[in-house]
């Protein structure tokens, strides 16, 4: 029979099933331990998880088991299970202390020779030595006990019963039951290999004939492992006599163990998943509530901008009576219900104020349209949460991107742009990124841009060498990129300083992003074109 492990066949299904409550039959465990111990010999222990106090998951890596497999143990007196799976059971967000203890002693070590104490339901592997430079204790064995759990020990404990021996793939102890047990099988001792499942089977067979029951004992004495059956939540190595139609047959102990684990693990793992799901749901509700408040504030701001269209219309209607080229703090015009005083920006002419009000109103229209789409998406996500389903980004067990490493070659926290003349411009997204720009990503001859008289993002325009000329258009585009992420972003124009990076240095003891500029090359007054970002963006 082909003993190759098929990952599809041994896939655990973590869904609820029904099954009885009984320990693993020792004769079945003998076949499982022999199969599992030999198959996993040579595997690397990549990681260890502990969904709860009873369940331990060992992540194995070995070509013989086709990539990583999960060896899932549930240690329990009445409903233990041990099986290989291609699926990782759900885990709590924070690993418990027991899992961390095992990781410290097992991670990256290999499973060597297997040993099994089949009547004691224990399986062990000798472990590869720890790394020479490691300060971890040199434990010799990984011990899996279906009753006590997973442990790392210096030597194998005494096997059960007294006088028995640990078996290996090269040395197995014969099992020779006393035929007298057939006189009263119900009184047989489990310590002698007469498990509850075997005693019940012998009673059924004795109802037919003594020879039928004796034949089963002879088969078990041969330790054959070529067929397995599950009935009423028990896995056995014999076909239940007279109950063949009720028993599910299996050709491989791994398949039978996976089926049994599906029956016994699911309710406990579902509780783990449920706890993590409820935490994620609570977090998601808070996130949605904050988003609603932010959207309400944004909607109020955009509506205020849209209302400026009425003021602009009043200015437009009265423009022929106003000094359109003068800079005034306010003007009075005729409104529908009488004279209306309109405050103006004194740094702009009356005509420029009118144009600015129209542009802001148009910007408010566009913003409202985009905001409505975001509100609809948020409503959809809230409906999913109400139905008990987490939106995909909030699902548990999703790995978060490593913040210390850039993704796909991008500079972490730094936006990249390419000017129309082909120059690379870098802009910080936060204070730490601004600090990184000034200290790590800029050459002394690069140009640095920042909004004057207020906070804003840092922009660095890269050059190949100190003598390279930069066209005016690229300088202005870099200045616009700085102005769009500064305190002047709501204005039509922005005043931006430009300096060589060699004249820009971080403030000692200051917060990230604070710099001292020793010499400014020039000051640029640029029109803030909001479409420039999207057109020049590389990311």
276 domain-assigned:
no
Q: Is the pLDDT of residue 125 over 80?
A: yes
Statement to judge: residues 508 and 365 lie in one domain: no
Q: Is the pLDDT of residue 355 over 60?
A: yes
pLDDT value at position 20?
41
In order of 325, 328, 336, 350, the CA distances from 343 in angstroms are 16, 9, 18, 10
Statement to judge: residues 350 and 422 lie in one domain: no
pLDDT value at position 404?
38
What's the pLDDT tens digit per position in 247-265? Answer: 888 999 998 988 888 887 7
458 domain-assigned:
yes
pLDDT value at position 332?
92
Residue among 344, 365, 361, 357 nearest 312 (CA): 357
Statement to judge: residues 237 and 294 lie in one domain: no
Residue among 444, 413, 417 nearest 430 (CA): 413
Write out the two tokens for 139.
């434990």
Statement to judge: residues 363 and 503 lie in one domain: no
Parent domain of 375:
289-394
* DSSP assigned state of 108: T
What's the pLDDT tens digit per position in 183-231? Answer: 877 666 655 667 888 888 888 888 888 888 888 888 888 888 889 999 8
| SS3 call for 335 | strand
264 domain-assigned:
no
pLDDT value at position 87?
77
Statement to judge: residues 295 and 253 lie in one domain: no
6 domain-assigned:
no
Among 103-117, 147-161, 280-294, 452-466, where is mean pLDDT lowest?
A: 280-294
pLDDT value at position 200?
87
19 domain-assigned:
no
Phi/psi class of residue 66: alpha, beta or left (left: φ > 0; alpha: ψ in -120 to 50)? left
Among 311-315, 372-376, 489-493, where is mean pLDDT lowest?
A: 489-493
The runs of H, that is alpha helices, within 1-111 are 26-40, 97-106
Q: What is the mean pLDDT of residues 415-440?
A: 88
Query: Mean pLDDT over all residues of the chain?
Result: 82
Examine the fold and report which residue of 210, 239, 258 is the final residue of a domain before the chain moves on.
258
Number of domains in the chain: 3
8 A C-beta contact, residue 349 and residue 331: no
478 domain-assigned:
yes
502 domain-assigned:
yes
User: Which CATH number characterizes residue 157's domain?
Assistant: 2.30.310.10
Tell me the C-alpha distance between 479 and 529, whole Å. Answer: 11
Tell me the C-alpha distance between 308 and 240, whole Å. Answer: 85
281 domain-assigned:
no
User: CB neighbours of 227 closer than 8 A, spacing ≥ 6?
Assistant: 237, 239, 249, 250, 251
User: Sheet of 149-153: strands edge to edge?
Assistant: 111-117, 122-127, 141-145, 149-153
pLDDT value at position 383?
81
pLDDT value at position 5?
39
Write out the two tokens for 14.
């973590």
Helical axes 26-40 vs 253-318, angle rounded to 10°: 60
Tell me the C-alpha distance between 232 and 529, whole Å. Answer: 73
Q: What is the mean pLDDT of residues 44-66?
A: 86
pTM of the prediction?
A: 0.50
């Amino acid at each position: 029979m082909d003993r190759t492990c098929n990952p599809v066949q041994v896939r655990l299904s973590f869904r609820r099933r029904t099954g009885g409550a009984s320990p693993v039959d020792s004769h079945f465990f003998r076949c499982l331990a022999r199969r599992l111990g030999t198959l996993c010999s040579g595997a690397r222990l990549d990681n260890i998880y502990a969904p709860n106090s009873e369940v331990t998951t060992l992540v194995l890596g070995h070509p013989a088991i086709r990539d990583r497999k999960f060896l899932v143990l549930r240690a329990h007196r009445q409903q233990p299970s041990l099986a290989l799976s291609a699926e990782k059971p759900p885990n709590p967000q924070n690993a418990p202390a027991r899992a961390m203890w095992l990781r410290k002693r097992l991670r990256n070590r290999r499973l060597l020779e297997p040993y099994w104490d089949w009547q004691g339901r224990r399986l062990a592997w000798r472990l590869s030595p720890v790394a020479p430079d490691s300060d971890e204790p040199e434990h010799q064995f990984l011990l899996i006990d279906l009753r006590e759990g997973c442990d790392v020990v210096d030597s194998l404990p005494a096997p059960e019963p007294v006088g028995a021996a640990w078996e290996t793939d090269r040395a197995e102890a014969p099992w020779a039951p006393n035929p007298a047990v057939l006189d009263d099988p119900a009184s047989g001792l489990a310590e002698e290999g007469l498990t509850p499942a075997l005693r019940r089977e012998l009673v059924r067979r004795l109802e037919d004939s003594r020879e039928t029951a004796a034949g089963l004992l002879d088969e078990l004495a041969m330790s054959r492992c070529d067929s397995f059956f599950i009935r009423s939540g028990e896995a056995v190595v014999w076909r239940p006599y007279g109950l063949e139609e009720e028993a599910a047959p299996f050709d491989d102990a791994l398949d039978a163990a996976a089926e049994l684990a599906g029956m016994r693990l699911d309710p406990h793992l579902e509780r783990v998943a449920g706890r993590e799901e409820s935490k994620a749901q609570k977090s998601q509700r808070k996130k949605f509530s904050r988003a609603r408040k932010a959207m309400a504030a944004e909607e109020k701001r955009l509506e205020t901008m849209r209302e400026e269209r009425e003021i602009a219309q009043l200015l437009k209607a009265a423009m022929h009576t106003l000094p359109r080229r003068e800079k005034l703090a306010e003007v009075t015009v005729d409104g529908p219900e009488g004279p209306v005083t309109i405050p103006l920006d004194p740094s702009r002419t009356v005509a420029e104020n009118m144009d600015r009000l129209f542009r802001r109103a148009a910007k408010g229209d566009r913003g409202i349209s985009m905001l409505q789409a975001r509100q609809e998406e948020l409503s959809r996500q809230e409906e999913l949460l109400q139905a008990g389903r987490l939106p995909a980004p909030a699902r548990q067990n999703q790995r978060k991107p490593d913040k210390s490493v850039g993704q796909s070659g991008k500079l972490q926290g730094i936006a990249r742009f390419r000017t129309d003349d082909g120059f690379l411009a870098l802009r910080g997204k936060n204070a730490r990124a601004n600090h990184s720009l000034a200290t790590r990503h800029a050459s002394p001859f690069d140009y640095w841009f920042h909004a004057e008289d207020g906070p804003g993002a840092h922009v660095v325009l890269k050059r190949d060498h100190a003598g390279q000329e930069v066209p005016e258009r690229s300088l202005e585009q870099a200045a616009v990129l700085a102005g769009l992420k500064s305190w002047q972003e709501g204005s039509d124009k922005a005043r931006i300083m430009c300096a060589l990076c060699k004249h820009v240095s971080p403030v000692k003891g200051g917060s990230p992003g604070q710099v001292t500029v020793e010499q400014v090359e020039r000051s640029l007054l640029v029109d803030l074109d909001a479409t420039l970002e999207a057109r020049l963006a590389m990311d």
